[in-house]
Structure 1
Amino acid sequence: MKPLPTSNQNLLDQEAIAAWIFLAPAAVLMAIFVIWPIVYLFYLSFTQGNFTITGVHWVGLKNYWRLLVSPDFWQVMGNTIYFTLATVIPSLVIPLLLAVLLNQALALRGILRTAYFIPSITSLVAVGLGWRWLFQTDGPINAFLLSLGFDPIPWLSSTVWAMPVLILLSIWKQLGFNMVVFLAGLQAIPLNRYEAAEMDGAGFWQQFWYITLPGLRPTLIFATITTAIFTLRSFEQVYMITGGGPLNSTNLLVYYIYDQAFAQFDFGYAAAAATILLAVALILVYIQLQVFGDENY
């Protein structure tokens, strides 16, 4: 004879049904706006053509092969790697040090936190226009250099200096957000750990290395992943300041995808490049979780 369900089993079934009912709207929205676009992007990467009356047709791995043999694509990948590494590391180190300083009992702590966070809520398009004005040949930065006796630098027309301008802007933009995240993580570390360390004679750097950094481990994982994703999807800086130049030296992968799709109308090729960008982002997140994560996180 089949046993009758107990009251606990009925309760669990009711809770499961209620959970699915509440999750259904979010699941539907995710399927429409996240999963389906990714699936369609993957399909589009195996096609060629455009969204006109001629339509698209299947070409298999041709788009991926074109990427592998394209010198421009590999230059863009090199630019993206350089830009990402040069942006992510300072965007973590500088906000962490600022958060440690602001976590102390300073009189102007609230004002400083607000001042550092303002760039994070400022329009990147407007900021890009401002930075282009600052670093143009006859702009304020070169005027300041001339006042110090230095020769002006062709910031935006130099293959050497154009990328550092974009990197500096990206660091400035990300700094405030990461600082607030680190401040929240610091305030979650129990004070008695620092008190015990002081009683044992530990100095500032010893406390930072053995208490602060281990206590911030989950926060560091979150900040690293979000900063890497923000950096990989950088587009507005290139679009507003350099347009990928000079000589393709500041062309990043997202801008390259945009140019191929909406300037060259080569949607299949652009979709293949976007698929590679998605794969790179997923690989980076996996590596970061493996390196910095642990069983308790």
Structure 2
Amino acid sequence: MITKKINPFLQQNEETVTAWIFLTPALILLGIFVFYPITYLFYLSFTTGSFTVEGVQWSGLRNYLRLLINPDFWQVIRNTIYFTIATVIPSLILPLMIAVFLNQSVALRGILRTVYFIPSITSLVAVGLGFRWLFQNQGPVNELLINLGFNPVPWLNSTLWAMPVLIILSIWQQIGFNMVVFLAGLQAIPQMRYEAAELDGADGLAKFWYITLPGLRPTLIFTTITTIIFTLRSFEQVYVVTGGGPLNSTNLLVYYIYQEAFARFDFGYAAAAATVLLIVTLVLVYVQLRFRIEE
């Protein structure tokens, strides 16, 4: 009797040990490449100095206070908020419309899906160089405007028009990924719901509003959060196309962190700004997980 009671306990312990043995390599990699860098970033945000012979010195909350009183940082925050809102909304609406269209029995659906997805796997550096050529003062876009009878626009030299160029580039790059996610969500909605709605006399708009959107609620939450995160970490567009200019009008948070760390070598201040970005990202991930649990 005693043996029978002990064996399940020993078996459970053996399974636990085996599980930890298999998990240990992954945990070690996570610790080295994820948890340690995050911890060191947090520590670095409370220091001043650089990686020289003098090293870094503890400075407490000084870097965070500098963020609060620095007008350049707040301009970057405004730029990032404007860029995020103007990018995320079209990056959700346009892919949803394309996904609804492709979800119908249209010809060449596989080819069209591939064509729309290509921007998502294209190098942003290469695309950025292409957009820089398109929107330069003597570029094809201004040439088209002149042919249509309009005045040329100094796209990349204007504090008004430089940011829309980055927004157009980011929307173009996001459409394919979100379209594929929406298409998968649409195909998961039972077809019988649409058939029942048709029997009740519902038109296309009613079916979209009362069946498609509620059925896509988890997908919408996922795509919204991931698109915001992808947009917040935008760097290549700014680096290649505008360099943060003109007059700091297109400087986004990640590019600002890069400038402070690797141009001015103010690693503690850059780490504080990166910590702010990390906190915002973690809050967004928490919101996504919270909604998923409620589902």
Q: TM-score range by the shorter chain?
A: over 0.9
Q: Which residue of 2 aligns with 1:40?
A: 40
Aligned to 1:71: 71
* Deviation sequence 1:6-34 (CA, Å, 0-9, x none): 55444433332232222222111111111
The alignment partner of 1:48 has SS state of strand
Label 1:295 to 1:52 Cα distance change in 2 as closer, same or farther (>3 A): closer
- Quote the RMSD (CA, aligned, Å): 1.7
- 2:14 equivalent to 1:21: no
Partner of 2:201: 201
User: Are 1:251 and 2:251 counterparts?
Assistant: yes
Most deviating of 213-222 and 264-273: 213-222
Q: In structure 2, do the counterparts of structure 1 residues 194 and 9 end up closer, same or farther at CA, with 3 Å as the change threshold?
A: farther
Letter in 1 for 2:173: K
| Partner SS for 1:78 | helix
In 2, Cα distance between the equivalents of 1:64 and 1:123? Answer: 34
Q: Which residue of 1 aligns with 2:139?
A: 139
- Residues in 2 aligned to 1:296 and 1:70: alpha-carbon distance in whole angstroms: 40
**Closer, same or farther: CA 87–199 of 1 in aligned 2, 3 Å:** same
**Ranges in structure 2 where 5+ consecutive residues have no aligned partner:** none
Query: Deviations for 1:103-133, whole angstroms, at most 9, x for unmatched residues?
Result: 0000121111011000001000000000000
- In structure 1, the partner of 2:53 is 53
Report how far residue 64 of structure 1 moved. Answer: 0.6
Partner of 1:162: 162
1:175 is aligned to 175
- The residue identity in structure 1 corresponding to 2:180 is V
Aligned-partner Cα distance in 2 for 1:260–1:10? 56
CA distance in 2, matches of 1:295, 1:64: 34
Change in 2 beyond 3 A, CA 1:18/1:218 = farther
Alpha-carbon distance in 2 for matches of 1:190, 1:117 = 25
SS at the partner of 2:54? coil
User: Structure 1 residue 155: deviation in Å?
Assistant: 0.3
Q: Matched residues in 1 for 2:22 and 2:209: separation?
A: 44
TM-superposition CA deviations, 1:169-208 (whole Å, max 9, x none): 0000010000001111111111111111111111112211
Q: Indicate the residue corresponding to 1:219 in structure 2.
A: 219
Offset of 1:286 from its aligned partner? 3.3
CA distance 1:295–1:50, change in 2 (3 Å): closer
Q: How does 1:99-138 map to 2 (within 5 A)?
A: 99-138=99-138
1:237 is matched with which residue? 237
- Which residue of 1 is the match for residue 274 of structure 2? 274
What residue number does 2:93 align with?
Answer: 93
Q: 1:121 to 1:295 in 2, by over 3 A?
A: closer
How many Å apart are 1:5 and its aligned residue?
3.6
Which structure 1 segments of 5+ residues have no match? none
TM-score, normalised relative to structure 2: 0.95
Residue in structure 2 matched with residue 260 of structure 1 by the alignment: 260
SS of 1:116's partner is: helix
Instruction: Give the 3-state SS of the residue equivalent to 2:48 in structure 1.
Output: strand
Instruction: Quote the Cα distance in structure 2 between the aligned partners of 1:3 and 1:81.
Output: 65
Give 2:124's aligned amino acid. Answer: L
Say if 2:218 and 2:292, in contact at 8 Å, map to a contact too: no
State the alpha-carbon separation in 2 of the partners of residues 236 and 278 from structure 1.
19
Which one-letter code corresponds to 1:242 in the other structure?
T
Taking structure 1 as the reference length, the TM-score comes to 0.95
Other structure's SS at 1:202 match: coil
Question: 2:88 touches 2:224 (CA, 8 Å); kept in 1?
Answer: yes
* CA shift for structure 1 position 271: 0.3
Counterpart-to-counterpart distance in 2, 1:226 and 1:26: 24
Structure 2 distance, partners of 1:212, 1:9, is: 50
CA contact (8 A) 1:182 1:219 kept: yes
Partner of 2:189: 189
Letter in 2 for 1:225: I
Counterpart secondary structure, 1:151: coil
Per-residue deviation, 1:69: 0.4
Amino acid at match of 2:272: A
Deviation at 1:211, TM superposition (A): 1.5
How far apart are residue 58 of structure 1 and its match? 0.4
Work out the number of aligned pairs and report it.
295
> Deviation of residue 285 (structure 1)?
3.2
